């Protein structure tokens, strides 16, 4: 008989760095971003409009955000949700966007 291993769901975090080149698209994104995150249990944990690189040579983004999700699956569901493609397109149209799941 195989032992059943229960998977423990742990809070997941995503690091978002944005270099804004289209403020209008970013403003439209910000209006919809909260509801899009909430749909998958996500929320901003920290937002910085003045991020500073303290080691390395990469330029600092315009905006850095740490998002929290109930688990990794929720974060992936948020980024891959076809109903949110329009919202993600607004973010992508704002400039350079990189999101790293931690």
The architecture of the domain spanning 12-101 is 2-Layer Sandwich (3.30)
Residue 1 has pLDDT above 70, yes or no: no
CA–CA distance, 26 with 5 (Å, rounded to integer): 43
pLDDT of residue 9: 82
The pLDDT of 3-20, averaged and rounded, is: 83
pLDDT, tens only, 16-26:
999 999 999 99
**Chain segment 40-71, per-residue pLDDT in tens:** 999 999 999 999 999 999 899 999 999 999 99
Residue 4 has pLDDT above 70, yes or no: no
């Amino acid at each position: 008989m195989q032992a059943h291993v229960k998977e423990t769901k742990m809070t997941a975090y995503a690091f978002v760095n944005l270099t804004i080149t289209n403020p209008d698209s970013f403003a439209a994104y910000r209006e919809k971003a909260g509801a899009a995150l909430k749909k998958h249990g996500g929320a901003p944990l920290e937002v910085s409009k003045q991020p500073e690189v303290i080691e390395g040579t990469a330029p600092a983004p315009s905006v850095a955000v740490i998002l929290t999700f109930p688990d990794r699956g929720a974060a992936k569901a948020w980024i891959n949700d076809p109903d949110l493609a329009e919202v993600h397109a607004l973010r992508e149209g704002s400039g350079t966007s990189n999101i790293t799941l931690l």
